[in-house]
Amino acid sequence: MSIPHIDQQVSARVSDAASVDTAILSRFSARAFLPQAVERSVLEEVLQVASRAPSGTNTQPWKVYVLQGAKRDELVAKTCAAHDAISANPALAAEYAEVYDYYPEKWVSPYIDRRRECGFGLYGVLGIGKGDKDRMHAQHQQNFRFFDAPVGLVFTIDKVMGRGSLLDYGMFLQSVMLAARARGLHTCPQAAWNNFSKIILPHVGAGENEMVVCGMALGYADEAALVNTFQTTRVKAQDFTHWVA
């Protein structure tokens, strides 16, 4: 599949709005993938298309590390070992702190309510009870296995950049996920990796000036997996939109 060339961006027309909408509406956080490999040429197309994401003054603050094969498996093994060690000795968690606050220090409604609904819903589909710590740990660790996806992506940013660049990064990540959907792929953006930057950065060869923004699993979703039947709810547009006239 070749990337379409747009010589006249301003005059370009989207002839099939339904396909654009489907790419957006069918995107979800897939948590089970098939072992089917993804061709490098397809990954290159996805990233090239996503590179057109907007950024303030065209700073393009993203840097992407693509992990496949042995290097992917080595990172999985290292991170899962650290995750197991923290489970056995929670005091070790202090060694793996996030470099930026992805979530608020104090949760308030309605955000905490949506978070709980998401967590209870996911574990409910999987039949994991609230007190089942072993199964909860195992399911959480699936993050660090990239949910068995053959491709793991690690996104970093230069530490010198401001918070606005994280807004830019969000638009880039969405572009990656939608370009992936256009090619029959699914993804799962993962903030869970943020705690393990001290393992990730040297493994991928990142510079000292970089910090982890998030990880992402990418591949062909397992349509038969129960976990992929879980769907999150969304607030209606009328509930978050304010018309100012």
Q: Using one digit for the tens of pLDDT, what is the confidence trace for 91-122?
A: 999 999 898 999 999 999 999 999 999 999 99
The pLDDT of residue 2 is above 80: no
Say how many C-beta atoms besides its own lie within 10 A of residue 103's C-beta: 10
* DSSP reduced 3-state for 215: strand
What is the C-alpha to C-alpha distance for residues 20 and 95, in angstroms, rounded to an integer?
A: 43
What tens digit of pLDDT does each residue of 198-222 get?
A: 999 999 999 999 999 999 999 999 9
Q: Rounded mean pLDDT of 34-63?
A: 98
Calculate the CA dihedral of residues 64, 25, 141, 71 and round it to 10 degrees.
-30
Question: What are the structural domains, with CATH classification, of the chain?
Answer: 29-101+145-226 (3.40.109.10)
CA of 208: how far to CAs of 60, 67, 152, 196, 201, in Å? 19, 19, 21, 15, 8
Per-residue confidence band for 8, with pLDDT thresholds at 50, 70 and 90: confident
Q: Is pLDDT of 181 > 70?
A: yes
Per-residue pLDDT at 88 exceeds 70: yes
What does the pLDDT read at residue 28?
Answer: 97
For residues 152 and 67, is the Cβ–Cβ distance under 8 A?
yes
CA distance 189 to 167: 15
- Can you tell me the distance from the alpha carbon of 111 to that of 224, in angstroms, rounded to the nearest whole number? 31
Q: How far apart (Å, rounded) are the C-alpha atoms in residues 69 and 37? A: 10
Inter-helix orientation angle 40-50/164-182, to 10°: 140
Among 9-23, 38-52, 222-236, the minimum mean pLDDT is found in 9-23
The C-alpha atoms of residue 189 and residue 191 are separated, in whole angstroms, by 7
Q: What is the pLDDT of residues 26-42, one digit of tens each?
A: 999 999 999 999 999 99
Length of the chain: 245
Peptide bond into 202 cis (omega under 30): no
Q: What is the pLDDT of residue 150?
A: 98
- pLDDT score of 171 more than 80: yes
